[in-house]
C-alpha cells in the first residue's frame, strides 16, 4: 500500500533523510521512531507530497506520488502534530467542507458517526477557538478519516488528549488498521508505539537503524534481550552502548 524506495531529502549540506526504503501493507501499523532531528517529519511530509524529495520514489496504493499526485493524495490522510483548522468553520462545517473537497457522497451519514466516535457531538456547533487542544486534535483526525483513507499517516496523534481521549484514539487507529488501512504512526510515546504498531522503523540521522517487529529487532540483537523498550530505543538511536540498568 505504501512503498518507499531510496527516499532522500537534503537541506543544503544536511541529509535529513538518506536513502530510506520501506513498505507498509494494508492492515499494518508502522511505528516511525527516532530522536529529534532523525528525519521523521521530513519522511512524513514527503509521503504526503508536502515536500519534494531530493531522490527516490514513493508509491501510495500503487500511484506514484510524483507523477500521479492527485490520485495518490485522494487515498491518504495526513494528520500533523499541530492541527490546522479553519478559525471560522464550526466542527460540523469542517467535516462538510472536507466531504466536499474529497467528494465523499455519504459524508452527511458518516460525519455524525465520526463525531460520536471521537466524542465531539456536543461540540459540533463550536468554532476551533472554543475547543481544547485535545478536541482540536480529534477534529483534525475526524477530518482525516471522513474519506475512509487507505493510507493513514499520523504525527504524534495523542498530543493534548486526556486519558479517555487516548484510549479512544488507540481504539480508532487500531480499528482503521483492522479495516485494511496502512497506518504510519510517528510518536515519542514508546508504550503507544509498542501497543499499536505491528512493525517498527527506527531511524537515526535519516537512515534506518532497525526495522521489523520488536521481537524481530531483539532477535537480531541479543544484547537487547530483556531490556525495556526505552533502553532498546536509546541503544539503537544513541552513540553509546546499552545503558546499565
Ligand atoms: P524529526 O522530525 O525526526 O525531529 P526532521 O525531519 O524535522 O526530524 O529534521 C531532520 C533534519 O533536517 C534536522 O537536522 C533538521 O534540522 C533538518 N531540517 C528539517 N526541516 C528543515 C528545513 N525546512 N530547512 C533546513 N533543515 C531542515
Regarding the beta carbon of 14 and ligand 1, being less than 6 Å apart is answered: yes
Domain ranges of the chain: 2-75+149-236
List, as one string, the DSSP characters of 98-118: HHHHTT-TTHHHHHHHHHHHT
- pLDDT score of 162: 84
Report helix, strand or coil for 2.
strand
- The torsion angles phi and psi of 83, rounded to 5 degrees, stand at -65, 130
**Residue ID of nearest Cα to ligand 1 atom 18:** 16
Atom of ligand 1 at shortest range from CA of 9: 12
- What Cα–Cα distance (Å) separates residue 83 from each residue in 35, 87, 157, 214? 22, 12, 10, 30
Regarding the beta carbon of 16 and ligand 1, being less than 6 Å apart is answered: yes
- pLDDT score of 244: 43
**Residue ID of nearest Cα to ligand 1 atom 13:** 37
Pocket test for ligand 1, best of 31, 36, 37 (most atoms within 8 A of CB): 37
Task: Return the C-alpha cell found at 187.
Answer: 510518536
- The Å distance, Cα 233 to ligand 1 centre, comes to 20
Architecture per CATH, domain 2-75+149-236, reads as 3-Layer(aba) Sandwich (3.40)
Regarding the beta carbon of 52 and ligand 1, being less than 6 Å apart is answered: no
Burial (CB < 10 A; 0-12, 13-18, 19+), residue 68, is: middle
Count of H-run helices and E-run strands, the chain: 9, 10
d(CA 62, CA 73): 12
Regarding the beta carbon of 201 and ligand 1, being less than 6 Å apart is answered: no
Regarding the beta carbon of 32 and ligand 1, being less than 6 Å apart is answered: no
- pLDDT score of 185: 93
d(CA 143, CA 44): 18
Long-range contacts of 241-244 (CB under 8 A, 24+ apart): none
Regarding the beta carbon of 38 and ligand 1, being less than 6 Å apart is answered: yes
Atom of ligand 1 at shortest range from CA of 17: 10
**Residue ID of nearest Cα to ligand 1 atom 11:** 16
Regarding the beta carbon of 37 and ligand 1, being less than 6 Å apart is answered: yes
Regarding the beta carbon of 39 and ligand 1, being less than 6 Å apart is answered: yes
- The Å distance, Cα 152 to ligand 1 centre, comes to 22
pLDDT along the chain (245 residues), means of 10: 95 94 96 93 94 95 93 92 93 96 92 93 96 92 94 88 84 92 91 88 93 87 82 79 46
- pLDDT score of 234: 86
Closest Cα to residue 13, out of 206, 201, 186?
206
Regarding the beta carbon of 244 and ligand 1, being less than 6 Å apart is answered: no
Closest Cα to residue 182, out of 142, 150, 136, 215?
150
Regarding the beta carbon of 204 and ligand 1, being less than 6 Å apart is answered: no
Amino acid at each position: 500500500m505504501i512503498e518507499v524506495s531510496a527516499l532522500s531529502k537534503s537541506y543544503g549540506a544536511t541529509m535529513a533523510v538518506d536513502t530510506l526504503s520501506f513498505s507498509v501493507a494494508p492492515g499494518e501499523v508502522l511505528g516511525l521512531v527516532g530522536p529529534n532531528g532523525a528525519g521523521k517529519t521530513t519522511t512524513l511530509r514527503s509521503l504526503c507530497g508536502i515536500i519534494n524529495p531530493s531522490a527516490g520514489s514513493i508509491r501510495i496504493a500503487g500511484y506514484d506520488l510524483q507523477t500521479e499526485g492527485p490520485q495518490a493524495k485522494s487515498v491518504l490522510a495526513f494528520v500533523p502534530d499541530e492541527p490546522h483548522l479553519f478559525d471560522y468553520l464550526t466542527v460540523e462545517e469542517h467535516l462538510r467542507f472536507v466531504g466536499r473537497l474529497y467528494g465523499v457522497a455519504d459524508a452527511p451519514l458518516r460525519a455524525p458517526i465520526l463525531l460520536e466516535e471521537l466524542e465531539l457531538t456536543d461540540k459540533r456547533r463550536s468554532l476551533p477557538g472554543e475547543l481544547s487542544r485535545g478536541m482540536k486534535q480529534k477534529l483534525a483526525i475526524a477530518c482525516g478519516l471522513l474519506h475512509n483513507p487507505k493510507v493513514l499517516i499520523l504525527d504524534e496523534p495523542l498530543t493534548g488528549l486526556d486519558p479517555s481521549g487516548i484510549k479512544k484514539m488507540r481504539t480508532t487507529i487500531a480499528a482503521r488498521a483492522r479495516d485494511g488501512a496502512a497506518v504510519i504512526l510517528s510518536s515519542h510515546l514508546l508504550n503507544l508505539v509498542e501497543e499499536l504498531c505491528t512493525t517498527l522503523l527506527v531511524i537515526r540521522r535519516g537512515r534506518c537503524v532497525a526495522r521489523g517487529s520488536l521481537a524481530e529487532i531483539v532477535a537480531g540483537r541479543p544484547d537487547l534481550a530483556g531490556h525495556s523498550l526505552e533502553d532498546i530505543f536509546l541503544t539503537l538511536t544513541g552513540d553509546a552502548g546499552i545503558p546499565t540498568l
